[in-house]
Structure 1
Amino acid sequence: MIFAKQALLPGGWQANIRLTLDGGHVLSVETGAAPFHGDVTVDCLVPGMPNAHSHAFQRGFSGMTERRGAGRDSFWTWREMMYRFALSVQPEDVQALAEMAYVEMLEAGYTRVGEFHYLHHDTDGSFYDNPAELSARIFAAAHETGIALTHLPVFYAHGGFGPVQADDGQRRFLHGLDTFGELVEACDAMVTRPQDRVGYAPHSLRAASQEELARLAQAFHGRKTHIHIAEQMKEVEDCLAFHGQRPVAWAMDNLPVDANWCLIHATHLTDEERRAIASSGAVAGLCPVTEANLGDGMFPAISYLAEGGRIAIGTDSNIRIDVAEELRTLEYGQRLFHRARNMLAGEGGSTGRRLFEASLTGGAQALDAPPPVIAPGMPADLVALCDPLTLVAEGDQMLDRWIFGRDMAVSDVWAGGRHVVTDGRHVCRDRIQMRFAEALGRVLA
């Protein structure tokens, strides 16, 4: 049983809410209730946030790429460090890194992760005896930590438009269409929890040819489809040179982009491209902290949301794992560019509430998850916020204080009804952190 002094329910904020959980779902929601002896009492309860885009193994080199080399530093120079790290991890390391990332996601208020997983093969590029070995490690990490998983095995075949042959740093990523189909089937067979899903992800327009993209769309029709697109200006320029169109314009003309698609980053857009994404029903998967860290650019969120566009947030490189920081960075980027405040709030509304609810809804759509609401029959994916100052504040102000202030923090998290975070710490943190440290010791030795 959970007693919440305030809770964000489908009809809005309500006070004095008592929840009964059963079998991973919310059994009942009582309003105007009183706490019972033995209830877990929390200040504020909200639905858990979906994390639409993660590369879990990259958690291992968080903060290790902040030294400038010769010349201009960019995504492309960062990528070389990522490749070196990716070529060093063994299966047990992949699992340990993912477990640590997922612990931190749950502690931050994420209850589902979309794992955009392109690390498939052994360090020499050969297939493991189990070709889905590294995907199995991701499933194991999700099971261990309790986070719901939307697994997105990545199709990666080329090193650039043309197609250009992949380079040696990409050897662990590569698949042909037939072997990739077998990988997805193997991932389907790993789904043993009701909350887990399998979609697929063509890595990018530069890593899959037009024919391959078309055949993938046909083979996996109806699945959730994620793709990196228009993240960097170099990608835009290369796409223009090869296809004669910008990436999003080309995708809209040549791929069946609809509500099953999530366009990751989609940073560099013309007005026409922005309107096309909004009208397609697809989700724009934004990763503001990583996009800022890599110097990618800024998504045109104000116009896009005004046009009815759908967004989700993701932690991407996992350099930082924090729901509030992703939402705050999204808003602050708009403020810096437009030199005004509360840019993504509706007229007279709360910025925190608008960002939080938009990302909840879009994230659930992108990851094939049930609607993220606190209601009977829905999954018990719940996040409690604590207010150590015990201030009297209305619900929306609680979200604003969490996202933009310093005092509110995540105290408890239930994922699939499992109470995985108490007093701000994951119940398995100590042993998982130890395995994480051992993995890093091996990889960085």
Structure 2
Amino acid sequence: MKFGIGQPVTRKEDPKFLTGRGRYVDDIELPNMTHGYVLRSIHANAIINSIDVNSAKNSPGVISVLTGEDYAADEIGSITCDSINPMLSKGEPQLRPHPALIKDAVKCVGAPVAFVVAETLVQAKDAAELIQIDYEILPSVTSVLSVREKDTPIVWEGTENNISFTFGIGNEGDVAEAMKNARHITKATIVNNRITTNSMEPRSSIGAYNKGEDKLTLYSSNQSPNRVRSELAHTILHIPENKLQVISPDVGGGFGMKGGFYGEDVLVLWASRKLGRPVKWTSERLESFVTDSHARDVVADCEMVFDADGKVTGLRVSADYSVGAYVAPSGGISPMFFTLLLSGVYAIPAISVVTRCQFTNTISTAPYRGAGRPEAAFVLERLMDMAAQELGTDPVELRRKNMIKSDQMPYQTALMHAYDSGEFE
């Protein structure tokens, strides 16, 4: 069999990359290309009282300076989250507008407030320095731990305790019963800190408009061009899919961070259509830390219940998961997997999980290297280590005693998933 399971897969791409012949978005040069630069908020939470772009518009080489007012006037759509699992969601998710250019109030450092298009990138940067913005700075909450404190600032008016959406699953009654009969309960508040991505190739986008055919082309460093095309066409640009082509050449790393589209993809397409010329934007390394989606940032209050034989009989987890100020298109994926996979490799008969996805004045979080799975594994393994210390037993033996055995397969977890196979020892 040519394609049988277990057969080696011959790699074809290595010579190109090893000899420096990879072709990334920033390597692409189109005729009559222009360059875009995004001016970003330096405040975590602030009202925009005014923006003066007149000096920037008159700067050498500048073709256009676009603001949130222009974005709204052209009726460009808002970036939306389409990844909140309705089977887990408790109540109606609270999502808020996420335009590619902000008009009224910024909610995190790095929020885009103006897009300068010029003949060269240097000219665009110089012009951006001439833009005058009057901010009214407001209190902010930048830590998911701070969300738990009394009198925490509200990120978005109309939300309760900064909660965007809540996932819940399991049987609380069974967990409560296990606690009544417990020999030991290990309790812990476990923090999984926020991290940022750092792919070899920064994000880059080129928008090109063909006036004769009334078609747009996006060259973008992303992992899912078909999804990006569908969402951009329908929810942002309000055009048929066949009027938009998305091309992803070689991608220099992403690990989930490049799984969806970003505001800069919208800006280059919009600007190109307005100006009739291709527009390129490429993130700088420092800029990527306040533009690319972050990950993790979850705090979990945990209780793991043991019987007299050292078997886990119950697990209760109540977690707060930061989704940032604006919920990313894939912002529901990591908290979903965190919630669903808190059984891990262990035979835990009763589990109850509540995950509150919280607004904070920070960059959006989204899948990155495991997408919620590392967070769940970290909770379980920390609890196992702590329990072993408290019970005075070998942590390896405690794990072995509680692992799902191969003769238990297929195994239905106390959450949603069923395992059809597995050998965990």
TM range, normalised to the smaller chain?
A: under 0.3
Structure number with the higher strand fraction is 2
TM, length-normalised to structure 1: 0.21
Which protein shows a greater Rg? 2
